[in-house]
Amino acid sequence: MKTLGIIPARFQSSRFPGKPLIDIAGKSMIQRVYEQCQKSTKLDKVIVATDDQRIMDHLQSFGADGIMTDSNHISGTDRCGEVASKYPEFEILINIQGDEPMIDPSQIDLLCSCFDKSETQIATLVKIIDSAEELFNENTPKVILNKKQEALYFSRQTIPFLRGKQSNSWLKEHTFYKHIGIYGFTNKSLSEIIKLPQSNLELAESLEQLRWIENGYSIQCAITDKESQAIDTPADLKKLLNILN
């Protein structure tokens, strides 16, 4: 199956405008993400999906493939859907976050491997939670898996709730998973889910993947032991530069 890696990259950002073009030790963030994706052994092609000519011009400066997309897309998934419609020859689409400059190519390959199962519609990664700070952080989405390692539910709350157990012992009593925000789709499933209206669960938790589950789509999960740092704010950039230096 031909697999296309798509990196959505918007110039506008409420917390960090222009962040795809910020300099990280001599290279822009989008260049670093693109080059990491190029190291994947599973992607047949990598393309940046943007809505800003400044980003397109920059992509050309280092020989990256890019495509202009509608500026009105609400999410990166919608932007990927537009790209997928223009590349029907690709059966699998991988949505790679454009703000994770140190993403490990092996994570992309692991996600792609979920589609070795012909019944996989959507796939994502999860990681075992190993700290109480993450376990009870509402900004860290958690996920419950079934026996097939498919997602049953995602929540910002800590799930499952361990009745009769003190919260400070939960990590010893149960294996909890956090969601790692990289997605894979079949071209067919992606074309369908971008047409779905926002659902009640999605609006309640502000997690778009709940729209897919609520509409009957299965989400295959793979467990990773790696996690890359997202650059959401200038403070995040400073932390990364301290690591690189």
Q: What is the DSSP letter of 233?
A: S
Please report whether residue 125 resides in a domain. yes
Beta strands in 14-63 (DSSP E): 23-24, 27-28, 45-50
Tokens of 59: 């992509």
Flag whether pLDDT at 244 surpasses 80. Answer: no
CA–CA gap between residue 208 and residue 197 (Å, rounded): 11
E strand or H helix at 108, and its extent? helix 105-113
244: in domain: no
Q: Which pLDDT score is estimated for 174?
A: 97
Percentage of the chain modeled with pLDDT above 90 = 86
Average the pLDDT over each of 3-7, 93-97, 105-109, 236-240 and give the range with the smallest value. 236-240
Q: Report percent pLDDT > 70 for the chain.
A: 99
Structure-derived torsion over alpha carbons of residues 234, 238, 239, 245, reported in degrees to the nearest 10: 150
Q: Answer whether residue 236 is part of any domain.
A: no
Domain that holds residue 119: 3-226
Would 201 be classed as within a structural domain? yes
Distance between alpha carbon 189 and the CA centroid of its chain, in Å? 16
pLDDT at 241: 81
What's the rounded mean pLDDT across residues 180-194? 96
pTM here is 0.94
| Residue 32 confidence (pLDDT) | 96
Backbone angles phi, psi at 186, to 5 degrees: -75, 155
Q: What is the CA radius of gyration of the chain?
A: 18
> Residue 86's domain is classified under what CATH number?
3.90.550.10
Say how many domains are in the chain.
1
Does residue 236 have a pLDDT over 90? no
Per-residue pLDDT of 119-148, as tens digits, reads: 999 999 999 999 999 999 999 999 999 999
Kindly state the average pLDDT of the residues 1-19: 88
Any domain includes 242: no
- Would you say residue 186 has pLDDT above 80? yes
Dihedral angle sign, alpha carbons of residues 87, 93, 98, 104: negative
- Residue 237 located in a structural domain: no
Mean of the per-residue pLDDT values for the chain? 94
**Does any domain span residue 189?**
yes
111 within domain boundaries: yes
